[in-house]
Amino acid sequence: MKAAAHQPGPLEPGPEQPAPQAWRRFAIVFLGVFFGGLGSIHVALVAIDPYDTGRFPTFLKPGISHDSKRMGNASRGRDPQFDVPILGNLRNEQLDPERLSVATGMSFVQLTTPGSGPREHMTTMRYFMRHHPQLAAIVLNVDERWCVHDPRLPEGYPFPFWLYRGDIEYLGNLLRTRAIMYAHKRIELAFGLAPRSDPRGYYDYEIGPPRVFAPPDPPATAVMPGAGLAPNTYFPAIEECERVLADLRLDTPVVIVVPPVHIGFLLRLPPQVAADLPACKDALARRVGGRPRSALLDFMVDGPISRNPANFIDPDHYRRNVARIVEARIAEVLNARAPANEAGPQ
């Protein structure tokens, strides 16, 4: 009698089931291909330098071809043709670096970042200082966000701090889909298939359909919020800024601009913020008081500029005509035609 064929048990590999060795080989090959591919992409990104940081040798010429200020300032902030950064947020983006360069003989670059605060500003400042040991001056935009009391200095919007700090942190964050997109743009730029973004970083936010700002008329005599409140004079952002400025040569001019806002914006400030603002401005002025051709230019006050809605596109962003006034005051200070630490025209 013919013996019955042996049937594999549930734990034994059948003819159609791969042996454990085959699974191990498959896993090793898969992981090798996967991580080898990632490694190759990482190496390619380092060589292409998608953000034009100049950290490692690359075969592509300098420059970028995109409009992101957060990412693009890494390229502009290392460009050797510039020696004065304009730092801050969108409130000072109307300052024209080309006009300021002509007016002062220095070479300005716009490194403002929309929605940014003191922590982002100082990160960008350190980056520029690292690449420009002989920088000619600094123009820094500050506002009420510099008067916060939280030592963590929380950011308002996500910011790529890793892009402006050390090489190890940069390499650890480089492998991203966004980096692949910017690498593609860098290659297009290299082959003449895309235009280079403005190296000075200037963007006129009044371009496009006209925007009408029509706020209600303010009271003839405005009483600022916070009247009678004792100010809180602990300003961690200013203390951190002092530590950054300590790395500058003592003869490097620093111009701090407190930008104008509409009177309606001032009247809606939280009471404690409004009460702290004068002490905060005084603390900033003291930080630049010993430097030549330096000043705190305070436009964030109740006055003719703040009371004219035609000067603004919205409560806290001024128009070109006001930018020309601010630029003129900056040039006067840097050209040593104005006393230091003097408020700007109101």
Across 170-199, b (16+ Cβ under 10 Å) vs e yields: beeebeeeebeebbebbeebbeeebeebbb
pLDDT given at position 260:
97
Strand partners for 314: 317
pLDDT given at position 21:
79
Question: How do the domains of the chain map onto residue ranges?
Answer: 73-164+199-206+222-334
pTM to 2 decimal places: 0.87
**Tens digit of each residue's pLDDT (9 = 90 or more) over 81-102:** 999 999 999 999 999 999 999 9
Across 62-73, b (16+ Cβ under 10 Å) vs e yields: bbbbbebbbbbb
Range of lowest pLDDT (37-41, 81-85, 213-217, 257-261)? 37-41
Domain 73-164+199-206+222-334 is found in CATH 3.40.50.1110:
yes
- Number of neighbouring beta carbons within 10 Å of residue 20: 9
Report helix, strand and coil shares of the chain as percent, to nearest 5.
40, 5, 50
Alpha helices, DSSP H, located in 105-235 = 118-131, 167-173, 177-190
Q: Cβ distance 310 to 320 under 8 Å?
A: no
Mean pLDDT of 156-165: 94
- Number of neighbouring beta carbons within 10 Å of residue 61: 10
Q: Which amino acid is at 35?
A: F
Q: Is the pLDDT of residue 271 over 60?
A: yes
Q: Is the pLDDT of residue 306 over 80?
A: yes
Closest CA to 288 of 142, 82, 132: 142
pLDDT given at position 155:
86
**Rounded Cα distance, 192 and 179, in Å:** 20
Model confidence band, residue 106 (pLDDT cutoffs 50, 70, 90): very high
Percent above pLDDT 90 for the chain: 73
Q: Is 86 helix (H, G, I), strand (E, B) or coil?
A: strand
